Amino acid sequence: MATAIYLEHYLDSIENLPCELQRNFTLMRDLDNRTEEKKSEIDKLADEYIANVKNLASEQRVEHLQKIQNAYSKCKEFSDDKVQLAMQTYEMVDKHIRRLDADLARFENELKEKLEVSGYESTDTRGLKKAESRGLREKRGSRGRGRKGSDEESPRKKKMKNSPDLSDALLPMQPSDVLDMPVDPNEPTYCLCHQVSYGEMIGCDNPDCPIEWFHFACVDLATKPKGKWFCPRCTQDRKKK
């Protein structure tokens, strides 16, 4: 159910993304075409100037060069507009990627908590049912074979006793596993995992902390602690002092 909710919300958020991307790409293509036209115009003006420069008066030369300069300025304007559109497109997609990263981290933490709770409940339930069935079998067998001692354990019970709990058998899931994808090299990284910012984070209260910000899951936190909080590295440094 939680998966469906996360997926539905995320699909709603990116519903208009294809149209917005198509619009930006169309505008960039149009800017490319206009730039190419201006470049052809510059080449033509330059050829005319070179061919007739000896026959032109000084004022005509200045006027002709000014036309070339204006065309170059227009090309630069088109290029700047294209760069702005490209940055806007990148940020548009990156915003949805960061939201997906945060949703994945939250969903993973919720799933881990549910698995731990259900694991403990199922272990207790199975133990109770086995105890009840064993009592019935002992009651039935006491007529012919006699009742076994209460301290005797069956192989199944020993196996269950020695086997790890479901929560222990589960591999710990870290948000860093979910975020195993290419990251913008210009985007700052944080935490002990050296990943980008996502989900819930907490800041170290040591003003000289080299890392500063940490993901909840990476420092084994479920909620924000009361009072001051220091990261594992700063805690060790404080103990040494």
What is the pLDDT at residue 159? 35
For 125-182, write each residue's pLDDT tens digit: 555 555 555 555 555 444 444 443 434 443 333 333 333 443 343 444 444 444 455 5
What is the pLDDT at residue 131? 56
What is the pLDDT at residue 164? 40
Of 190, 188, 199, 184, the residue nearest 87 (C-alpha): 184
What is the pLDDT at residue 231? 92
Name the binding residues for Zn(2+).
191, 193, 204, 209, 215, 218, 231, 234
Name the binding residues.
191, 193, 204, 209, 215, 218, 231, 234
In degrees to the nearest 10, what's the CA dihedral of 117, 121, 127, 129?
A: -160
Name residues of the chain where pLDDT drops below 70: 1-4, 6, 119-186, 241
202 strand-pairing partners = 214
Do the strands 201-203 and 213-215 form a parallel or antiparallel pair, or are they unpaired?
A: antiparallel
What is the pLDDT at residue 196? 82
Between CA 168 and CA 102 the distance in angstroms is 26
